Amino acid sequence: MNKLVFCIFLIFTLGACSSSDWRTASRAPAGIAYDPSLVHDAIVEVYAADAFSWRGWFAVHTWIAIKEPNVEQYTVFEVVGWRTPTVRRQTTKTPDRYWYGAKPEKVLSIVGEKAELMLPKIKAAVDAYPYANEYTVFPGPNSNTFTAWVGKQVPEMELDLPFSAIGSGYVE
């Protein structure tokens, strides 16, 4: 009987948590990125936000944003599991958008000459990502595997992803 009660509780709990609609969830800018029209230096940033729906209890989604010097847009690199190839590139003035309702946090922010020196290495690492046509929520490869892999290829980033970046250890 206890198992039945637990199963019913679990179904209702997960149902309540997954009632969010990804199509209408916020993708608004969080206001934590540098304004590319005001900051003319190179920028390298990594963001993390709770994964969508109940998965956010356990895991985050991570992505990388870079900005060339004297350019007024960022290039955002991320892996998403609902398309192939999984690596997505997007140019935007707002790399700090909510991840389907979850406010992002900056995991890394480097501005200036150090960031500028990293840009070609980051682009080369993105292009060489070995799992560009694969995606598995657990144990990986996933969005966090991608971000961690780029960080390993560019050690001067000194990237330290949060513990909840499940899949980041897939390439270790």
| pLDDT per position as a tens digit, 137-147 | 889 999 999 99
Q: What is the pLDDT of residue 171?
A: 81
- Compute the distance between CA of residue 146 and CA of residue 144 in angstroms, rounded to an integer: 5
- The SS3 call for residue 62 is strand
Asked whether the predicted pLDDT for residue 26 surpasses 80, the reply is no
Rounded to two decimals, the pTM is 0.84
Specify the pLDDT at position 163. Answer: 95
State percent of the chain over pLDDT 70. Answer: 80
- Write out the H or E segment, with its range, that includes residue 122: helix 113-127
Interatomic CA distance for residues 8 and 39, integer angstroms: 53
d(CA 71, CA 48): 24
Q: How far apart are CA 141 and CA 167, in angstroms?
A: 6
